[in-house]
Chains A and B, each alone.
Chain A
Amino acid sequence: MIHNLKHRINVRFASKGVLFSKKIDEFLCDCSNAFLFVVRFFKEAFTKPFHLNELINQCFDVGLKSLLLISITGFIVGVVFTEQSRPGLVDFGATSWLPSLVCLAIVRALGPLVTALICAGKVGSGIGAELGSMQVTEQIDAMEVSAINPFKYLVVTRVMATTIAIPVLAIYCSFIGLYGSYLNVHEQESSSLISFYQNAFSYISFLDLFAFMLKSVTYGFTIGMVSCYMGYHATQGTRGVGRAANQAVVLTIFLVFIEEFIIVTGINFFRYG
């Protein structure tokens, strides 16, 4: 059982005294705990009972919480990116490339990234604080002793919800961004919506869409996993709740950029050989 395994690892670390230095020991202990947390997720996500109602609730929660923010930021990113890219293209008389340039930028980088950053702040801190306060006020223990598996009920549903909802939000964010871009292009170069979208997607390949989905799913999973881990392991009362929320956001954003780099490198290796 994971619980036992984790206990054994902690006991082993504790019983050997200081292995390296206290800081490094703690870090290794955290890493092993985080690894076991992820393993436990995959074990429990595919066994009964599935809390479908709670999963649907959480999906709506994640989606609705960040919808407004994503609409605004997505729109602004589209408008600003178009506006700022125009001078470079004007010099070559190539403003007709503007839609496809913006679309490439949004699909290949901005859409998933902006969504992930907004959701890390909005959803990640929310989950971190919520689970953190449930942990320090013993609500998680209370679930456990009434024979409800809190990991399944709280963690699995939330991680699944972010993994499902964030790709949807990323698609939505990308379309809003393109719409912002269209309004800008329409005003300056007076193109129609249909020709804008045809133009925009002309350079988008299947690999781009695949990378888009891969990234958004990865970011969604990361946001859910990190925030749940931080909340679930909160200690030391109210201060711990604040720290859990804070660390959830900081670590998520850091990991999102690392993942962005790895995925882009991988995809480009695939694309260009």
Chain B
Amino acid sequence: MERENRHIVNDHAPVISISGLFKSFGELPVLQGIDLNLYEGENIAILGKSGSGKSVLIKMIVGLLLPDKGLVTVLGQNVAALNRKALDRLRLHIGFSFQNSALYDSMNVFQNLAFPLTMNVKHLNRLQVTRAVEEALEAVGLRDKIREMPSDLSGGQRKRIGIARTLILKPKIMLYDEPTSGLDPVTSADIIELINLVQSQYHTSSLIITHDLTCAKNTANRIAMLSKGKFSKIGSFDELFVTDDDQLKAFFNYNFLQ
């Protein structure tokens, strides 16, 4: 299942470009000078300890949080400068898979998927909506769960439904927040497979936040290590893995001993 470690070198402008990004909450500095480019068709995994600011980083990409300093450009647009309408238009191109899936627990699976679609695409008839929902569920392999409530699903199934809910708007960019956290190894492997499938089927570029090295290795073209508010290393798995950085070694060992 291992991916070829091809670097995507691209003369196109990056789909996501982050430069000189700072963010703190009150006295607590979280991000202190982040630079990153994500190119079309590329998957980058962001590794980092819990609490290192990984979620904060991707929340700034979709404009859920505003940077204190620095620039986040997505598909050529400066996220912090957009008004609500323009930001919403941009968000339609970004799929965001939340750490805890964030399924609407008052709605069943069908309604969860139909909701973003019917809210954003006007004049769809019932049949078109049903077809789109079934197609997205098909992609994640959970078509039979269409009438279930989120509370009746397992963790792995909820993650899949969460991903399906973002696929329904056919995003160009996918942001995964810890897609395999809290899942057993077999289910993790399924999610990893799904991430790769989404990339090939929907032609997305992705940022995958994780502290699961297997996930990073099998999904990403490049891996970025976040520590102390900065990317301490960026490179392919092989480049990072052969290292004499003690901190990285400790991190890898920790992951492999698990």
Contact = CB atoms under 8 A, between A and B. Distances in A.
Contacts of B12: none
Interface stretch (A68-76, A93-101, A134-142, A215-223): A134-142
Contact of A146 (B66, B68, B105, B116): B116
A231 B225 CA distance: 36
A3 B80 CA distance: 11
A142 B98 contact: yes
B89 A139 contact: no
B60 to A, nearest CB: 12
A214 interface: no
Contacts of B102: 137-139, 141-142
B111 interface: no
| B64, B66, B102, B105 interface centre (most CB from chain A within 10 Å) | B102
Given A1-B83, A4-B66, A7-B66, A145 B104 contact: no
A141 B98 contact: yes
B94 interface: yes
Nearest to A147: B88
Given A145-B91, A147-B88, A147-B89, A137 B120 contact: no
B64 A144 contact: yes
Nearest to A153: B119
B255 interface: no
B115 interface: yes
A131 to B, nearest CB: 11
A148 B116 contact: yes
B91 A142 contact: no
A1 B84 contact: yes
Interface string B94-132: 101011101111100000000110011000000000000
A139 B104 contact: yes
A199 interface: no
A149 interface: yes
A146 B166 contact: yes
A144 B116 CA distance: 10
A14 interface: yes
A132 to B, nearest CB: 13
Nearest to B118: A148
Contacts of B83: 1
Contacts of A141: 59, 64, 98, 102
| A11, A137, A153 interface centre (most CB from chain B within 10 Å) | A137
Nearest to B89: A147
A137 B89 CA distance: 24
A24 B257 CA distance: 49
Contacts of B68: 11
Given A7-B66, A148-B120, A138 B91 contact: no
Interface residues of A, number: 21
Nearest to B61: A145
A161 to B, nearest CB: 15
A26 B15 CA distance: 39
Nearest to B65: A7
Contacts of B66: 3-4, 7
Nearest to A13: B26
Contact of B104 (A3, A4, A142, A149): A142
Contacts of A134: 104
B164 interface: no
B91 A149 contact: no
B92 interface: yes
Interface in B132-148: none
Contacts of B62: 144-145
| B26, B119, B166 interface centre (most CB from chain A within 10 Å) | B119
Interface in A115-162: 130, 133-134, 137-139, 141-142, 144-149, 153
A11 B66 CA distance: 11
Given A14-B26, A141-B64, A147 B91 contact: yes
B216 interface: no
A3 B105 CA distance: 26
B46 interface: no
Interface of B: 26, 59, 62, 64, 66, 68, 83-84, 88-89, 91-92, 94, 96, 98-100, 102-106, 115-116, 119-120, 165-166, 169
Given A130-B106, A137-B102, 17 more contacts: A1-B83, A7-B66, A138-B98, A139-B104, A141-B59, A141-B64, A141-B98, A142-B96, A142-B103, A144-B91, A145-B91, A146-B120, A146-B166, A147-B92, A147-B120, A149-B88, A153-B119
6 contacts: A145-B64, A145-B91, A145-B94, A147-B92, A147-B116, A147-B120
Which 7 pairs show the lowest CB-CB distances between chains A and B? A146-B116, A147-B88, A142-B102, A138-B102, A145-B96, A147-B91, A148-B119
